A and B are shown apart, each in its own frame.
Chain A
Amino acid sequence: MPPWSNFEPFIVSGLALGGVYALSGVGLVVLYRATGVLYLAFGAVGALGALIAWSLTTEAGAPGWAGWLVCIAVAGVVTLGYGLLFGPALARRDPLIKAVATIGLTLILYGVMDLLWTTSGGQARSLSLPTDNGGFTVAQIQVTWTQVIALAAGVVLTVGTGAFLRFTKLGTAMRAMANDRDITATLGVPVRKVEAAAWLGCGILGGIAGLLLADLVALDATTLTFLVISSLAAVLIARLRSITVTFVAAIVIGLLHDLLTPIASLTSYRDMTPFVIAAIGLLVLSRHQVMTQSREEA
């Protein structure tokens, strides 16, 4: 076992990785709680926005802020468009079908990105935010403000959306609609408008996450599109209910993942961390559920 000092830098990098997982995971839970849809295209719309931002700033010479706004807007518009076009048709379908339909959107967006931002000539792209240039040093490694913002964004998102869903009229309508669309409609809630707001909000979150993840992880269609899969581990542990549990689970997964890195015998297996933790989490939770049910039946 390496000395403790060897682990210190990995605590910092693990928190940053956890923040990355949290950004996607929290976004997924927010939309699920608002619409009842597990939006697996969350990473793809962010990637699309980030690549467009890269083209605008690098190739067309647009200012950085314009690229960031376009990134967020593109992700919002694509998600809203999908929601308006397919949301009503899928509203009464099984949740599994709704989730699979978003895989369709994922694959379409992924194909478009692979076509427009090809890597066939060995192209490598990057998107840097000004916050990369400043920061502070912890455990002998530099922490950029972007990493701090990503972690803070996860916290703000967790608290903010939790409060929004709980305390605002629109948030309450979203939760009601996710529970039962028909009953909510009969109560006079404009379900189409509420649904549209949820899709747009989720898309905007996807755009913000895409922008930060393009800087923190990689500006690469494959990486960003499928990063959401690792975040699903945190979502599963939270059982698609709790935004707070999603956030905490994501941070724990990120930390454990990176703390395994300096251990030679385990380092090759560290990428299994999200899936192992999700499996253990589900087993423990289902055991707890069985025991609770048994007690109730008794």
Chain B
Amino acid sequence: MRRNNAARRTILLAAALALAAAGCSSSSSSSGATGSTPAAGSSSSAGAATVDTSSCGSKPGVKATGTPIPLGAIATNQPGTSFTDIPNMAKAYFDCVNANGGINGHPIKLYIATEQTNPAQIAADAKQLVQTDKVVGIVGNTSIIECSINSSYWQKLGFYVIDSGIAPECYSTPNSAAVNMGPRYSSDGAVQYALAQHVSKVVFDQANVPGTGYIAAGPNALAKAANVPIVDLTENVPITDANSVAIKEVNDAGPNGAVILNFTPPQALVILQAAQKLGLEDRVKLWGCSTPCNTDFLAQSLGPKWNGKLFVNAELAPPDDTNTTSMNLYKAILKQYGSSVQGGIGSFSQMGFTEAEIAVHALQSITGPYTVQSVNAAFKAVKDFNTGMLCQLWTYGDYPLHIPNNSDWTVTPKDGKMTTAQGCTLISKVDPQIAQYRSVAGTAAYAPAGS
């Protein structure tokens, strides 16, 4: 009996230790399931594209055999959070270019380093790319904290990074220009749409991860300027009490209010489904979401009750509603070269495509050797480039901060797909960061239709 009690005490100790470890597990999950993610993917298949991919290069059908141009990318890849689809799609685009003439006969070789939100590892990844792989440019970075860690390193070496941003430094430093808007400006877009529908109150709820104050500052500025009260909430993720979260949001918003979510698709889905099961979806005027919710996975899982009830910010052209040259080329390249892109058609792979086409456009302008100096000068010189994926023409430029994508679509679920609810709309300069960017870079022109 004594032995049995000792065993029980030991196991209780083990359980207590596991319970203590839960804090660690929970917090690592939190960073994993960050609300600060870029846009999410869509589930549409790539089967519809019929475009000839050879148009991606300057010499169709001619394989590039020259000295490779080494480029690098760093992406978060950890359980629950993987952004590798973005550099993988950039690589697919480069593979297409390499099979069709390359850059003046030179193929592009993309080195992709992955990290697990470990600052030391992220710094080491950057050094490995530069010192071991001898990359001459950085294209396709997408990481929860990479911009915060490596920003000064890239500045010191003179690299001008083309990335998909998450951390504030991706948008507020001279050496990073993103193709996406990131969580703050995407949330701005969602709140802006709600305010335009004359809601009487806004509840802004996001994942409890580092940087929530920075993200919430934008929506708060917009609501304040419109004299609409706003309530800021944060939730620990993964969410296990979605019912109470949904009840709290709806109670705080009131019948003429809006609930705006900034979560990854799985977490947003948990809240929205809880609201639906509790019969709360009609208790507020509208529900909104930043770009991560722009996924057909979400639209399919939610069902028709959310048609015209949920409005999602979309930083890139809605794939289902867009039939343009660039969109069709993207779908065709994804089908032919994108076997490693797990999410298929969607914002993640759209970002990778966009970053790669900007990089190729810049590299094609270089006449001499491909060095760190020449490549990064070419990146920085990109001006008014029509990506075919963004509302506006894209510019890098020599600015102290970069928010080149600052106009968005709004989409809403309709029978299992996300459809356009509102066309391109500028993010309000009431957000002081947007105002600061436009004061130095101006307001970029809209991209011509059908490109």
Contacts and interface: CB of A to CB of B under 8 A. Distances in A.
Given A124-B265, A239-B12, A229 B18 contact: yes
Instruction: Identify which of A40, A226, A227 gathers the most chain B CB atoms within 10 Å of its CB.
Output: A226
Contacts of B25: 226, 229
A123 B297 contact: yes
B29 A229 contact: no
Interface in A186-236: 217-218, 220-223, 226-227, 229-230, 232-233, 235-236
Interface in A116-148: 118-126, 128, 132, 137, 141-142, 144
A110 interface: yes
A267 B343 CA distance: 35
Nearest to B291: A122
A217 B271 CA distance: 9
B39 A262 contact: no
A10 B247 contact: yes
B266 A137 contact: no
A110 B15 contact: no
Given A119-B80, A120-B83, A222-B33, A236 B15 contact: yes
B398 interface: no
A222 B29 contact: yes
B19 A236 contact: yes
B425 interface: no
The 7 closest A-B CB pairs, nearest first, are A121-B343, A122-B40, A121-B41, A120-B82, A229-B22, A124-B265, A13-B243
Interface in B334-371: 341-344, 346-349
Contact of A9 (B79, B247, B341, B347): B247
Interface stretch (B144-152, B190-198, B277-285, B431-439): B277-285
B32 to A, nearest CB: 7
Nearest to A259: B244
Contacts of B348: 120-122
Nearest to A229: B22
B50 interface: no
B445 interface: no
Contacts of A95: 7-8, 10-11, 14
B85 interface: yes
B23 interface: yes
B277 A122 contact: no
B7 A36 contact: yes
B298 interface: yes
Contacts of A110: 79
A267 B248 contact: yes
B13 interface: yes
Interface stretch (A14-22, A76-84, A160-168): A14-22
B18 A124 contact: no
B342 A218 contact: no
A218 B270 contact: yes
A13 B238 contact: no
Interface string A10-43: 1001101100100000000000100010101000
Contact of A230 (B22, B82, B83, B268): B22
A232 B248 CA distance: 26
A122 B270 contact: no
A137 B243 CA distance: 14
A121 B15 contact: no
16 contacts: A13-B244, A36-B11, A100-B14, A111-B79, A118-B343, A119-B265, A122-B347, A141-B278, A142-B277, A180-B4, A229-B26, A232-B19, A236-B16, A257-B241, A261-B248, A268-B208
B84 interface: yes
B234 interface: yes
A32 B7 CA distance: 11
Interface residues of A, number: 67
A6 interface: yes
A218 B81 contact: no
A7 B117 CA distance: 39
B343 A125 contact: no
Among A119, A221, A230: residue with most chain B CB under 10 A: A119
B378 interface: no
Contact of A179 (B4, B16, B265): B4
A98 to B, nearest CB: 8
Contact of A122 (B15, B41, B242): B41
A218 B238 contact: yes
Contacts of A111: 79
A141 B4 contact: no
Nearest to B269: A124
Contacts of B297: 122-125
Contacts of A94: 7, 10
A61 B4 CA distance: 50
B18 A217 contact: no
Contacts of A99: 11, 14-15, 18
Contacts of B341: 121
Contacts of B240: 17, 20, 217-218, 223, 227, 230
Interface in B215-239: 234, 236, 238-239
Interface in A74-104: 94-96, 99-100, 103
